[in-house]
Chain A
């Protein structure tokens, strides 16, 4: 039994050694040789257990193991689409040619490890990639809308140059489209291309379903100057240590709801606040001003009346100059009707364009999305396979925390019982101040940059400092066991308890 486990460790080590061997460097090595190659290794414990040895480094007695990676040959302008479940890993390596994952180029011979990913590797020039591990789904697609996406980038480059010569802000681009149309992917691609040619876009995420450099339930803005993380999608927010891929610095706000329409009362002002910060940044930061803003939105606001109002709100707050509609004719015509010919505050004409949805877009089921959300939360506290973070647990008294719970939306029954002229805004408070209770077990709380006794509006509009996880509630002793990313005393700030993202029971 011991042996069988060691064998796996060994296979991995042997693979590492093999990948590093001089032959593996030469792209000319034929696949046949490669696949058929057998590697001789030893099992530790086979020979002499008393000898201290690392598994895999003692290469004396032979045991045969066959390692067989798959090599795919991609023609130019095709892509390899793949899905990897959570808990599985797949390693991908570019052998020759050029390849990019959502716009971010893969260097030759670097190995990338994917888990819980649905993505595609595209090549403009043709390439060969080597894949180790089991993909849930994988195939090569010849028809992709990448040419259109690249054209969008070059069109934006034109706008940027013009804006620069005229001393205006770079284009503010809003991406809208239904769920699972590839909005975030398109944002990634045009962000990566802009970064690649030395621009510095500000990327704004208004989709509370998934976080950008943060956990779900947040809105955020980040400037991108350096390459994105191929394995993790965007990258990582700062830690107190180094990182292989340059960290990105996000500005984060908290929504606490999955569907922004549920509570426009919160979503709209927070969007306004975020837009204000972004506009300030543009005025302060020459490079960001030149490049402009790219805005990702939740799919749900592209589905009807209430949502269109949100879009209108976003367009006016961010002074959007181009609306890109992804994969929906109807939405395109609705957007045209609403915005065509309109001008922004600065007098630019708002452009509305339509781009195709990629055939590679897959519907992500609720189970996958939930795992994805949990992995984002886990990553916030514990880091990923490359960087292990050490969050801190501590016991604190109930009265050390000032917690504001997002007020429940008033349901229709209750509304019908109220006098006719009472609107949502006049009745409901934004938050209820609550005392910790057993219900709080396993929830994520958000610390915001606001004084505990500040007004509810200020607490709502304050940017996020970080998140804590309630591991345990002891109602008898009035104690909480809290997991915080940073050690030391929790800052004396207001704390928000939202209903999103949902609690996570097995975080630790």
Chain B
């Protein structure tokens, strides 16, 4: 967000920008939307400015201003919908009363889209809630009725009007029908809606009196929004010419090449996606390693399998996916090559990287890489272009591309006493400062994590004892835990256990980042607090929990299935990705499913749901219908079962409360 800008200043700037908006300019509207999006913390100020601007601007500029509003509420959503929704009636009616008929038609169309969900969004809620829109519609209908009546009295051509009614009027700009806002230069694109506007919201009586607004037309499907993803800033071109034909005959090279091209294509259309970037980086690193021919046959085989699996994933081949080796999430124990004393080997650096190649594409190492990448949040992959990956002799290239792994390797070498403490590579934490001489000159602290006898903690809980400085103890907080996460600063022991914990921790960061990218699309909200029993029984270890391999979808599904089998109340399925299915209620009780985040399977799920055939049912509804002897779950059950379900939930809570009181 813009640094040091208080709300007032942002608002003032926004106001000035709005005043420059005199024509219906796609570019400016999208720019204003982007600014609004980047300044959501000043949403209230911006909304106020926008509102005032719409009110005060001359009639011929009202339409562009309203388009800004429309674009902001659709592309940014909350909190703008809340702030702007408050006075929407006044804003809209004020503008409507001052503009000419042509503009009014456009406003009508815009109003209609506000009653629908944002097209292409996962959120099924309308842009503005019905209670915000309804008063406006009612007022418009009233006004039209009055206008038409006046017309009929004054004009003798009433008959003519009656004939014309119902015939579609030519509109100047049909492709804007359902997307009043001009297409955006960026941001979430909502594909133009395909719906036809029906009459359901217009009372019949009033409709009769609306000759000017033919509602029966089936609007032609709007043309696809001209998107413009192709930024002048195109990432892949920045790479050195990788595409030189691979000099090995093994198909793996071609496969990797193809994968890289596919990843690049995907990446260039979605520059902001971190996971794509990391995948691309990993692939490039793998390619470098393959070309440098530093792999042992086993590693080569492992890499080949991994590539085959990925290839199948990307190109949709069905066979190899099943036969591909399972991803290794447990860090493969690294045995340092004993045959060569490392101190005598200048070329030691590339060696430690080798065992990790086989799992280079697995999520654990991706997590390592992402952790590294996060130190440079906005670095585009171009930064890699500075080293030629095809040269096996170039130590720098391998070091930097795999330095996250390397750091781990060095740490483990150190722990095993193979490398002397005077390593050239700075380790996490010991970076850039020399630790106080009293405690840290001695390597044993690094290696063991056990405090030496000199570090005995003799502090008692007395005021005098607390006053005596014991700076050496502070190393318990820092040097004793040299293994630091570069994202959040959390420290881990240098032991094998500490390493494993860190790996899981980085995994957690990785998953979280993935989910953060996903979650931008769905609305997030605060959950209710837990009750006493739930809190007492809760254990919070979201990162260290050995989620064996929650990253693979198959394992996740299996986990979900096993959980579901345990307790029908806890039956849940991942939220269907098919939007049609996602919007369908339970066929038995006709209620929608509640989407909740499930920590165990690390995904959004529908609780109390099960999928049978192509439809999703509430598990409790389904089991009840079955119990009642109905063989087919499609049979509508009596409302009793619905009440029964609610009651069960209530009882459960009441039970909790009692348990705690007892």
Against A, the Cβ 8 Å flags (1 = close, 0 = not) of B462-503 are: 110111111101101110010011111111000000000000
In Å, the complex CA distance between A151 and B464 comes to 11
Is B432 a contact of A97 with CB atoms below 8 Å? yes
Answer whether A463 and B529 are a contact pair too, CB < 8 Å, given A54-B185, A449-B653.
yes
In Å, the complex CA distance between A20 and B460 comes to 47
B600 at the interface (CB under 8 A from A): no
B554 at the interface (CB under 8 A from A): no
Is A107 a contact of B486 with CB atoms below 8 Å? yes
Interface size class, chain A: 35 or more
Interface size (B, Cβ < 8 Å)?
A: 116
In Å, the complex CA distance between A239 and B431 comes to 36
CB neighbours of B528 from chain A (8 A): 447, 465-466, 485-486, 491
Rounded to whole Å, the gap between the CB of B25 and the closest CB of chain A is 9
Stretch at the interface among A178-186, A259-267, A386-394: A386-394
Is B17 a contact of A1 with CB atoms below 8 Å? yes
In Å, the complex CA distance between A391 and B542 comes to 25
Against A, the Cβ 8 Å flags (1 = close, 0 = not) of B584-606 are: 00000000001111000000100
Is A57 a contact of B232 with CB atoms below 8 Å? yes
CB neighbours of A21 from chain B (8 A): 379
Is B462 a contact of A351 with CB atoms below 8 Å? yes
Is A151 a contact of B433 with CB atoms below 8 Å? no
Stretch at the interface among A249-257, A308-316, A365-373, A431-439: A249-257
Using CB atoms, name the residue of chain A closest to B477.
Answer: A196
In Å, the complex CA distance between A390 and B78 comes to 6
Chain B, 595-635, CB within 8 A of any chain A CB: 595-597, 604
Using CB atoms, name the residue of chain B closest to A240.
Answer: B597
In Å, the complex CA distance between A118 and B613 comes to 58
CB neighbours of A387 from chain B (8 A): 524
Against A, the Cβ 8 Å flags (1 = close, 0 = not) of B518-538 are: 010011111111111001111
Rounded to whole Å, the gap between the CB of B425 and the closest CB of chain A is 14
B164 at the interface (CB under 8 A from A): no
Is B530 a contact of A251 with CB atoms below 8 Å? yes
Against B, the Cβ 8 Å flags (1 = close, 0 = not) of A119-153 are: 00000111110001110000000000001101110
CB neighbours of B471 from chain A (8 A): 77, 124, 147
A269 at the interface (CB under 8 A from B): no
B419 at the interface (CB under 8 A from A): no
Stretch at the interface among A33-41, A295-303, A376-384, A407-415: A376-384
Is B460 a contact of A227 with CB atoms below 8 Å? no
Is B543 a contact of A147 with CB atoms below 8 Å? no
Is A9 a contact of B526 with CB atoms below 8 Å? no
A108 at the interface (CB under 8 A from B): yes
Is A508 a contact of B131 with CB atoms below 8 Å? no
Q: How many A-B residue pairs have CB under 8 A?
A: 340
Chain B, 376-409, CB within 8 A of any chain A CB: 376-379, 383
Is B524 a contact of A127 with CB atoms below 8 Å? no
In Å, the complex CA distance between A374 and B465 comes to 41
Rounded to whole Å, the gap between the CB of A279 and the closest CB of chain B is 10
In Å, the complex CA distance between A154 and B19 comes to 61
Is A388 a contact of B78 with CB atoms below 8 Å? yes
Using CB atoms, name the residue of chain B closest to A105.
Answer: B489
Is B516 a contact of A245 with CB atoms below 8 Å? no
Using CB atoms, name the residue of chain B closest to A159.
Answer: B461
Rounded to whole Å, the gap between the CB of B507 and the closest CB of chain A is 13
Is B41 a contact of A385 with CB atoms below 8 Å? yes
In Å, the complex CA distance between A159 and B525 comes to 41
B442 at the interface (CB under 8 A from A): no
Rounded to whole Å, the gap between the CB of B449 and the closest CB of chain A is 11
Rounded to whole Å, the gap between the CB of A165 and the closest CB of chain B is 14
Is A241 a contact of B3 with CB atoms below 8 Å? no
CB neighbours of A104 from chain B (8 A): 489
CB neighbours of B522 from chain A (8 A): 241
Answer whether A388 and B461 are a contact pair too, CB < 8 Å, given A87-B7, A241-B524, A248-B540.
no
In Å, the complex CA distance between A87 and B14 comes to 16
In Å, the complex CA distance between A355 and B511 comes to 42
Is B2 a contact of A8 with CB atoms below 8 Å? yes
B345 at the interface (CB under 8 A from A): no
Q: Which of A111, A124, A156, A247 has the most CB of B within 10 A?
A: A124
Against A, the Cβ 8 Å flags (1 = close, 0 = not) of B139-176 are: 00000000000000000000000000000000000000
CB neighbours of A508 from chain B (8 A): 44, 79, 82-83, 86
A271 at the interface (CB under 8 A from B): no
CB neighbours of B594 from chain A (8 A): 488
Against B, the Cβ 8 Å flags (1 = close, 0 = not) of A76-115 are: 1100000000011111000111100000111111110100
CB neighbours of A91 from chain B (8 A): 3
Answer whether A242 and B185 are a contact pair too, CB < 8 Å, given A96-B433, A281-B536, A380-B526.
no
Which of B489, B539, B543 contacts A107, CB < 8 Å? B489
In Å, the complex CA distance between A98 and B474 comes to 12
Answer whether A87 and B6 are a contact pair too, CB < 8 Å, given A2-B20, A126-B433, A238-B527.
yes
CB neighbours of A506 from chain B (8 A): 44
Answer whether A5 and B535 are a contact pair too, CB < 8 Å, given A87-B6, A127-B433, A250-B529.
no
Which of A27, A152, A382, A466 contacts B432, CB < 8 Å? A27
Rounded to whole Å, the gap between the CB of B471 and the closest CB of chain A is 7
Using CB atoms, name the residue of chain B closest to A84.
Answer: B4
Is A124 a contact of B474 with CB atoms below 8 Å? yes
Chain A, 437-467, CB within 8 A of any chain B CB: 447, 449-451, 462-466
CB neighbours of B125 from chain A (8 A): 487
Chain A, 154-170, CB within 8 A of any chain B CB: 154-159
B424 at the interface (CB under 8 A from A): no
CB neighbours of A242 from chain B (8 A): 511-512, 515-516, 519, 597
CB neighbours of A49 from chain B (8 A): 27
Is A225 a contact of B540 with CB atoms below 8 Å? yes
In Å, the complex CA distance between A244 and B274 comes to 15
Chain B, 80-139, CB within 8 A of any chain A CB: 82-83, 85-86, 125, 129, 131
CB neighbours of B258 from chain A (8 A): none
Is A57 a contact of B231 with CB atoms below 8 Å? yes
Is A105 a contact of B433 with CB atoms below 8 Å? no
Stretch at the interface among A11-19, A398-406, A418-426: A11-19
Using CB atoms, name the residue of chain B closest to A111.
Answer: B377
B637 at the interface (CB under 8 A from A): no
In Å, the complex CA distance between A8 and B14 comes to 12
Is A108 a contact of B431 with CB atoms below 8 Å? yes
Rounded to whole Å, the gap between the CB of A327 and the closest CB of chain B is 13
A497 at the interface (CB under 8 A from B): no
A291 at the interface (CB under 8 A from B): no
B436 at the interface (CB under 8 A from A): yes
B202 at the interface (CB under 8 A from A): no
In Å, the complex CA distance between A2 and B2 comes to 16
Using CB atoms, name the residue of chain A closest to B509.
Answer: A244
A155-B465, A508-B86 known; 4 new pairs, CB 8 Å cut-off, are A109-B486, A134-B4, A277-B536, A384-B41
Residues of A within 8 A of B (CB): 1-2, 4-6, 8-9, 11-12, 15-17, 19-22, 24-25, 27, 44, 49-55, 57-59, 76-77, 87-91, 95-98, 104-111, 113, 124-128, 132-134, 147-148, 150-152, 154-159, 171, 193, 196-197, 214, 221, 223, 225-227, 237-252, 276-277, 280-281, 284-285, 322, 351, 353-355, 380-385, 387-395, 447, 449-451, 462-466, 483, 485-488, 491, 506, 508
Offer 28 A-B interface pairs, CB within 8 angstroms, sorted by A. A2-B31, A9-B2, A12-B2, A44-B31, A55-B31, A58-B233, A90-B3, A97-B432, A98-B478, A104-B489, A105-B491, A108-B486, A125-B478, A147-B470, A148-B466, A151-B470, A197-B477, A240-B596, A240-B604, A241-B516, A247-B542, A249-B530, A322-B461, A353-B461, A354-B463, A390-B79, A391-B526, A449-B532
Residues of B within 8 A of A (CB): 1-8, 13-14, 16-17, 19-20, 27-28, 31, 34-35, 38, 40-41, 44, 77-79, 82-83, 85-86, 125, 129, 131, 185-186, 228, 231-233, 374-379, 383, 429, 431-433, 435-436, 457-463, 465-471, 473-474, 476-478, 481, 484-491, 508, 511-512, 515-516, 519, 522-532, 535-544, 594-597, 604, 653-654, 657, 660
